[in-house]
Amino acid sequence: MKEELHILCVLFTEEVGGVFTISFDEEGGVLLHTEAAEEDYLYDEVSAGLMVGQVRMKRKELFETLSLYYRVFVLHEDIKLEE
């Protein structure tokens, strides 16, 4: 999973520039952020916004798994899996 996330971040920044980060909200939801320095002329804000939406849709299962991991091991939630 770590390698897949690393590749995803590298490919994202190669495509639109800037910095791409993945973080969590207080409930364990996955947040995708993109930003760039003022002097980063390669950054395309419109493309970055569109690509965040594409990444979220295409990698939905990955982010759900990542959220579950965070909720269990960081937030120490007791998760009951459906059988």
Distance of alpha carbon 34 from alpha carbon 23, whole angstroms: 11
CA distance 61 to 34: 21
Residue 82 pLDDT level (bands cut at 50, 70, 90): low
Contact criterion met (CB below 8 Å) for 55 and 48: no
Q: Tell me which residue of 34, 2, 29 sits closest to 17, measured CA to CA.
A: 34
Is residue 81 very low, low, confident or very high in pLDDT (cuts 50, 70, 90)?
A: low
**Backbone angles phi and psi of 17, in degrees to 5:** 80, -170
Q: Which residues pair with 20 in a beta bridge?
A: 34
What is d(CA 10, CA 18) in angstroms, rounded to the nearest whole number? 11
The pTM of the full predicted model, rounded to 2 decimals, is 0.85
For 20-64, the pLDDT digits (tens) are: 999 999 999 999 999 999 898 889 899 999 999 999 999 999 999
